[in-house]
Structure 1
Amino acid sequence: MFGMLPFDRSNDNLFDTFDNFARDFFRSSNASLPAFRTDIRELDGKYVLEAELPGFSKEDISLDVKDGILTISAEHRENREEKDERGNYLRRERRYGSFTRSFDITGIDESGITAAYQNGVLELTLPKSQPVIPEARRIAIE
């Protein structure tokens, strides 16, 4: 019909040619990389999740659990200025980074999750929840 593709525009308009070229070029570069690297190991009765977050301080990281989803967010802002004696900039740099990843934690005891951050690695201990065994009971006949 009109070449309908979700989340993409067709290249029919001459003025959009450069925009489409840039979008396609940068899409293939690193769009498939996750926000930050994580390793998940299974140990006795728990999982250990290690997330690499170099350059962030502990205060830059937030962990949220809602409806069985664990969300790890990290945000860092940095401004650095160097001026000469007259107040003119010799160098002015700004840096901003923000990352978010979410994980399904079905089967995890949410109240027992612990976290530690050291040397750029966030380590979460996720204890497995104990399976609920249905209770059997006898019903008296009257």
Structure 2
Amino acid sequence: MFGLVPFAKNISNKDDDFNSLFDVFNEPFFHNALSPFSTAKSFKVDVKDLGSAYELTAELPGIKKENISLSYENSYLTIKVANKEEKTVDDKEKQSEKYLRRERYYGEMQRSFYIDDIDEANVKATYKDGILTVTLPKAVKKETATAINID
């Protein structure tokens, strides 16, 4: 009767490494079915240091520009996305459609990134072809010399 547990890995053939017990969480089942391990309710982001600025690139395919909001507060850049399902039913045949599998996510997503010492007045964002690009210029630190009297 052993080996009949669905989605279980046979860990008896593994080296007795404690970390191999958690390999089951890398199985495709967990990535596709369980929300804590799923990437379906998030979006991919790259952050680059360009020297004089940071560049954040987020993949948001199928999202309308008006459904994206950006904010910068307390050194955190926050991207919020609301993807809403639009239902337009024209005839009775479409009303009776039943999906067997649906892989589009509808709802809200949010990610925040700690990016310190930026020039908030010159932050620029563009959205084209499902790619959001945010350019965050670094704040110019003024070096001031102060004379110190010696007693």
Q: Counterparts of 1:8-87 in structure 2 under 5 Å? A: 28-29=30-31, 31=37, 33=39, 35-84=42-91
1:101 match: secondary structure: strand
Cα 1:78–1:129 change in 2 (3 A) is: same
Deviations 1:52-109 (A, max 9, x none): 011111100000111111100000112223343x798244889623210001111221
For structure 1, the residue ranges without an aligned partner over 5 or more in a row are: 1-23
Give the TM-score normalised by structure 2.
0.62
CA change 1:90–1:74 in 2 (3 A) is same
Is the 1:115–1:125 Cα contact (8 Å) retained in structure 2? yes
Identity of aligned residues (%): 34
SS of equivalent residue, structure 1 residue 133: coil
Q: Which of these residues, 124, 134, 144, is aligned with residue 124 of structure 1?
A: 134
**Higher fraction of helix:** 2
- Tell me: CA distance 1:46–1:138, structure 2 relative to 1, closer, same or farther (3 Å): same
Q: Does 1:99 align with 2:109?
A: yes
Question: In 2 relative to 1, CA 113–27 (structure 1 residues): closer, same or farther, beyond 3 Å?
Answer: farther
Q: CA RMSD in A?
A: 3.3
Query: How far does the alpha carbon of each residue in 1:20-70 deviate from its partner, in whole angstroms, 9 at most, with x for none?
Result: xxxx99994262648210112222411111000111111000001111111
Over 3 Å counting, the alpha-carbon distance change for 1:32 and 1:133 in structure 2 is farther
Counterpart-to-counterpart distance in 1, 2:62 and 2:94? 29
- In the alignment, the residues of structure 2 paired with residue 106 and residue 98 of structure 1 have an alpha-carbon distance, to the nearest angstrom, of 26
Which structure has greater strand proportion?
1
Aligned residue pairs: how many? 117
Q: TM-score, normalised by structure 1?
A: 0.66
Structure 2 alignment gaps of length 5 or more: 1-24
Structure 2 partner of 1:109:
119
Please give the secondary structure, in 2, of the residue aligned with 1:59.
Answer: helix
- 2 CA distance for matches of 1:114 and 1:83? 41
